[in-house]
Structure 1
Amino acid sequence: MKYMKRRGLNFLLLVVVLGVGFVSCSKTSRQKARELEVELRDKYVAKYYPDAQPTPSGLYVIKEQDAPAGADSITVGDQVKVFYTGNLIESTDSTGVQDGYVFDSSGDYEPFTFTVGAGSVISGWEEAIQQMKEGEKAVWIIPSTLGYSGTPQSGVPAYSTLVFHVTVYKVIKSNSDPVIIERQF
């Protein structure tokens, strides 16, 4: 009898261990969402920007219009005014991969204004804007790791690559250089 109880407990333990093993082998919905994000982003880049190379963080900045000669680089502390449209990537049987749902836009009349490095925009924007100059147009392809990650935002599902079409309208350089006042005696 004692042997039968022990054998029964061993069998139960084996079932529990195997059950945990099978559960841990199956992918979670988060893992599937991350894999779908990478798949869609790779297809999108291959279709529209096959020569584009990401930064080490995974960001793509594809320049579509260069800055005028003499335009300054954008640095932390500068205030920038940009026009933009933010899209999600979508893929359908009829059209394939393309810019999808517009989840955000500055509109056509009033640019969006922010200070670089102030933490008021996602990290993908902070990185991308510092690769731009006044007057440039670019497409920014921002992986979720530099956007909203696993946190859904209004109109943006978790683990979504964000595609921004951006025009840098104006750069107001910061006055970060200390002012030296000489006294005359």
Structure 2
Amino acid sequence: MKKTLAIVFLVLGTVAFFACNDGIDYEKMRKEELAILDAYIARVHPGAEPTPSGLYYFNEEGTGSGDTIKLGDRVQIYYATWALIDAEDSVLVDETSGYLDGHRYEPYSFVVGAGTSITGLEEATRYMQPGTRSHLVINSELAYGQQGSGSIGSFQTVLMEVEVYKVIPLDTE
């Protein structure tokens, strides 16, 4: 009886594994993403080095003042988001963000370190100050990963233009 149950569970587990494996080569997709990311960085930001997590951030000179943003601070940002399609091209995917055609929408607000925004954006804010404008290059591991999100596909690097509008320190909330 135990042997029969073990065989049944083995067969069911194997069937479940192959049913979940949709035939997509995710490892290949990730390698392709990293090749596109490397080519983009070499073309647009030659010699740039990522943070230990793999995030690239480029703060515009002359922007930002005051203390750096800390874990637990609430930030309000304006942003625009693109999906990196290939080293030469990206596609705007967020049409309600703050920089489109000079229009300002309501700022996006989140608590740094609370896990309510993508990891790469939360990390990047730690290198910024109120008023900072930055260009972010966020690999899929720090963005939406294998599952993607909306117009951003599986294993797709995200490009963001971000401006920190306001910081509400943890101790004043």
Range into which the TM-score falls when normalised by the shorter chain: 0.7 to 0.9
| Correspondence for 1:79 among 74, 79, 99 | 74
Is residue 2:160 matched to residue 1:164?
yes
Is residue 2:40 matched to residue 1:62?
no
Deviation at 1:28, TM superposition (A): 5.8
The one-letter amino acid paired with 1:109 is: Y
Checking the alignment, whether the CA contact within 8 Å between 2:77 and 2:162 is kept in structure 1 is yes
1:96-119 deviation line (CA, Å, top 9, x unaligned): 613323246423231111111221
SS in structure 2 opposite 1:81?
A: strand
Question: Which of 1 and 2 has greater Rg?
Answer: 1
Deviation at 1:89, TM superposition (A): 0.9
1:1-46 deviation line (CA, Å, top 9, x unaligned): xxxxxxxxxxxxxxxxxxxxxxxxxx96212211110111111111
Q: CA RMSD in A?
A: 2.0
Identity across the alignment (%): 35
SS in structure 1 opposite 2:31?
A: helix
Distance (Å, rounded) in 2 between the aligned partners of 1:67 and 1:134: 8
Counterpart of 1:154? 150
Is residue 2:80 matched to residue 1:89?
no
Checking the alignment, whether the CA contact within 8 Å between 2:79 and 2:97 is kept in structure 1 is yes
Counterpart of 1:32? 28
Q: TM-score, normalised by structure 1?
A: 0.71
5+ long unaligned stretches in structure 1 = 1-26, 177-185
Distance (Å, rounded) in 2 between the aligned partners of 1:109 and 1:28: 38
Distance (Å, rounded) in 1 between the aligned partners of 2:57 and 2:133: 10
Counterpart of 1:131? 127
Counterpart of 1:50? 46
Q: How many residues align?
A: 145
Following superposition, which runs of at least 4 residues in structure 1 exceed 6 angstroms of deviation? none
Q: TM-score, normalised by structure 2?
A: 0.76
Checking the alignment, whether the CA contact within 8 Å between 2:120 and 2:138 is kept in structure 1 is yes
5+ long unaligned stretches in structure 2 = 1-22, 99-103
| Correspondence for 2:92 among 91, 101, 116 | 101
